[in-house]
Every structure is written in structure tokens, then in C-alpha cells.
Amino acid sequence: MKDDWNGRASPAYGPGEVSPKPRPAFSSGVLAILAGQAAGGVAALLIEVCYARILGPEARGVISICLMCVAFGVLVGAAGGEGSIVFWSARERGGHATWFPAVLVWGFAGSILAAGLWWLAYWQFKLPVLRGILPSWAWLVLLNIPAAVLFAYAMALLAGLERFSLRSAGTLLRQLATLSGFLAIWLFTGRTTAAALAAVLLGYLGSACMTFFLLRKQLAGFWKIHSAGGNLLPTLAYGLRGQIGNLATFFTYRLDIFVINYFLPLAQLGYYALGVTISEALWQIPSAAAYALFPRTSRTPSEPATRFTCLVMRQVFLVTCVSGLLLAAVCPLLVPLLFGARFGPSVAVILWLLPGTMALSLAKVGCSDLAGRGKNGYSSLFALICLVLTIAFDLFLIPRFGIEGAAAASSLAYLVDSVLVLLALRFELRVGWKDLLLPAREDFESYRGAWLRLKAGLGFWRRDSADARRGFSSLADW
């Protein structure tokens, strides 16, 4: 036996086994994720500008519906494997060969199922909500599904291992490969939607291959399927328990895309898709916190995890309110400037969506904590409730008010989902609303200490700062 990174005894690793690396502090994980998301966000912005300036609203609408079909295929094909990977890799330090092959088995079977469903939906039933998609684009959607599943597994593995810097690099690589691939294909083939979809495929495959190559030692023996026979049912059970909610959440988030494609012209879908992309930029910091919180909650005793989750929720609430107000102020100026005056209708979409996206920022962090406690059934139940509401809101508002009605419908559903998640989180954590949402005085003091420590680390602050130590002591290992 030997002591692990927290000072607890842990088993020694035999020949050929890879000793897990120490877990990073939460703040390090969040900052690493945010750095990757910031860089990836710039790349994503450039991609959106290229779509808007080169392809136009109608093509942007087709790309949106195609990518939504890929996203649905990933939900079916991954079989909940992302959650299983994060949960198991956070708790089972080392020994990936005993359970990771089981996840791959379900991912392979799920990808076949997803491909079959896409074949039925497009080529057999010719669903009206898929209008505008040409057969060549449909084939690219089919190829993107298993590639996206592989990418999702790679990013989940890095999140579970808390290799957040590498995860950020993988996310950035996908965006850069997509951007460069689109520009290269466009130069040779001209302005086509196929160029965008082919570039997305390159991005998924390039990032996933890089990740699995870098983790090849940890994943040694992953191809030995027989060694994971005992974990086939446990990994599937955990994944599916949350996957029902993921499917419902997907349609809560994205049903409006399909309904708009059915009722409105493709150009309207292009305006709406851009508005959704911009409004969801608010989720960058909450998503980073949620990714880092999931594995931390899984491996932390209940009481310290509760205090830490409340701290994170308060910070996310404050940051989301400030950034939401800022986005509302600048989007009427920046959207026409960056994407062209013809994308002006996207501004109203952003403003209608903002209340819901701001509220859902809290729900994302709350669901991550609940999943880390093994309580992912809450998100499934709430997502099903909100899906019913979304269907009703979409069918009532979109035919009457167009894309603004779609934005209002989504915002209402997001608000309901967020309230339900916060109620469940408060019940499980046994805390009051003040502890959960309202920033305390010591939180602001910790910001000052964090800033002083950051300056010291950058060389701008030369002396030992007692304030910095005092500020960071309130954050534990934040």
C-alpha cells in the first residue's frame, strides 16, 4: 500500500499498470477548461462568420438541422457512455481496461442503432422536418454520427481523469480542424453545405484520434472485450439512467429547430440558429464549472462536497447575471457588424432566449453535482416534464410568432427546468436559498485574494501576500 495524493492509502500498482496522476485543484480545472473554451469560442465565432458571410442564412439553416440530427444520433449512439466514463474514471483510478471496453461495446451497438434510425427517418419515411437536406448531405450526417460518438467518449474520459488542459486542447483542435477544413474544401469545391459537414467530420475524427493516442498507456488492453464482461450491465445501467433525461433535454433544447424547419422558410431557421448559438455563449463558464464539479463531487465526501457546490453555485449565479446583461446590451450592435445586416432578426431571438439561458446556467451546475452523487434520475424526470411543456409551447407559439415565438418557448422551458433542478439540489444538499444562490461577503473577499495571488504568480506582486493566503483559505481547494 502507498499513500495517494490526498494522503490516504491506496493500492500499489503492478507492472504494466499506470499510476493515476494527482487530481488538480478545482480552480485549475475550471481555468484550463475556460482557456480551451475561450480559444475554441474564437474559432467557433470565426466558423459562424464564415457560414454567415460565405453560405448565407438558408445554408446556415440546413447546417443547423444537419448538426441537430448528428447530435441526436450521438445521444442514441453513445448509450449514455459519456456519463459512465466520467463517473467510473473519477472513482476507479486506474484499471480502465476492466470497464472502458464495456462502454465501447455499447457505443458500437448504439452507433449502429443510430445509423439505422437515420436511414429510416431520411430515406424510408422522408420526414417533413428534414426537408432541405440533400442525399449527399444525408450521407455526411451518417458518417458524422460515429465520429461524434468517439469524440464525446474521448472528452468524457479526459473530464473523468480531470485532464482538463488536454480536454481543452482537444476541444480547440476540433474547432480549428473544422474551420481550416471548411476553408480548404470551400476553396476547391465552392460554396456548398457539404463542405461544412465534411469539415465537421474532420474535426471530430482529428480530436478523438489525438486524445486516444495520448492516453494509449492508460487505455492499454481496451480492445480486450472479454475482460469487461462483468461491467457490461453496470456501465449500461448508469448510462441509460441519465440518458433518458439527456434525450428529453435534447428535444427541450432543440425541438424548436425541427418545428421551425417544418413551419418556416430555411432562412428563418438560419437566423434562429445563429441567435441560439450566441445566447448559449453564456454557458461557457457554467459548463466549465459543471465539467470540473462532476468528478470532484463523485470522489468527495458529502459534507465538504455540499459546501463546495454552494460556493460554485453562488459564483456562477453572479457571473451569469453580469454576462447576461452585458450580452443584452452589445448584441444589437455586434450581430449586424459581425454577421451582416441580413442577420438582424437574430437579435430578437437572443433577447428572448436570454432569461432562459441565464437560468439554465445554474441548472447545468446543479445537474452536474446531482450526477456526481449518483442522483442523475432527477435530471431525467425534469427533462421529461420540460419536454412536454416545450412541445406545447412550440406548437402554440412558432406558427403564430415565428422565430421569436420559438425563442420565448425555449426560454419558458429553460426557466421551468432550472426551478425544478434548484429545488432538487436544495433538497439533497439540505441548504437554504441564501447559501445556494446569494454571494456572501467572504466570496468577494476571496476574489481579492485570488487576484493578488494571480498577480504574484505572474511576477507583478513580489512580496508574500497574507491577503492572498487569507482569501484562498476560504475557497479550500478552489
Q: Quickly list DSSP for 248-317.
A: HHHHHHHHHHHHHHHHS-HHHHHHHHHHHHHHGGGGHHHHHHHHHHHHHHHHS-HHHHHHHHHHHHHHHH
pTM: 0.77
Residue 321 has pLDDT above 70, yes or no: yes
Which among 84, 195, 76, 212 has a CA at the least distance from the CA of 145? 76
Beta-carbon contacts of residue 338 (< 8 Å; ≥ 6 apart): 45, 49, 52
pLDDT score of 266 more than 70: yes
Average pLDDT over residues 53-76: 93
Which grid cell sits at 272? 434562429
Radius of gyration (C-alpha) of the chain in whole angstroms: 22
| pLDDT for position 35 | 74
Residue burial 435-458, b: 16+ Cβ < 10 Å; e: rest? bbbebeeebeebeebbebbeeeee
d(C-alpha 345, C-alpha 134), whole Å: 26
Q: pLDDT at residue 16 above 50?
A: no
Written as one string, the DSSP assignment of 315-363 is HHHHHHHHHHHHHHHHHHHHHHHHH-GGGTTHHHHHHHHHHHHHHHHHH
**With bands split at pLDDT 50, 70 and 90, how would you rate the model's confidence at 157?**
confident
Which amino acid is located at 126 in the chain?
K
Region 351-373: mean pLDDT is 92
Q: How confident is the model at residue 27 (pLDDT cuts 50, 70, 90)?
A: low
Nearest residue to 238 via CA among 82, 370, 91, 112: 82
Residue 32 has pLDDT above 80, yes or no: no
Q: What are the boundaries of each domain within the chain?
A: 21-437, 441-473
Has residue 429 got a pLDDT over 80? Answer: yes
Residue 10: phi and psi, rounded to 5, are -140, 155
- What is the predicted pLDDT for the residue at 71? 94
Query: 3-state SS of the chain: helix, strand, coil percent to 5?
Result: 80, 0, 15
Number of C-beta neighbours around residue 423 at 10 A: 13
Q: Over 60: is that where the pLDDT of 342 sits?
A: yes
Range with lowest mean pLDDT among 118-122, 136-140, 462-466: 462-466
**Of all helices (H) and strands (E), which one includes residue 39?**
helix 26-50
Cα distances (angstroms) measured from residue 346 to each of 279, 330, 355, 401: 10, 13, 16, 14
In whole angstroms, what separates CA 228 from the centre of its chain? Answer: 28
Instruction: Determine contact, residues 104/157, Cβ cutoff 8 Å.
Output: no
Query: What are the tens digits of pLDDT across the range 195-252?
Result: 999 999 999 999 999 988 888 877 766 556 565 666 667 767 766 766 777 788 888 8
pLDDT at 465 over 50: no
What amino acid is encoded at 233 in this protein? L
Question: Who's near 389: CB < 8 A, 6+ residues apart?
Answer: 412, 413, 416
Average the pLDDT over 90-94 and give the result: 57
Is the pLDDT at 120 greater than 90? The verdict is: yes
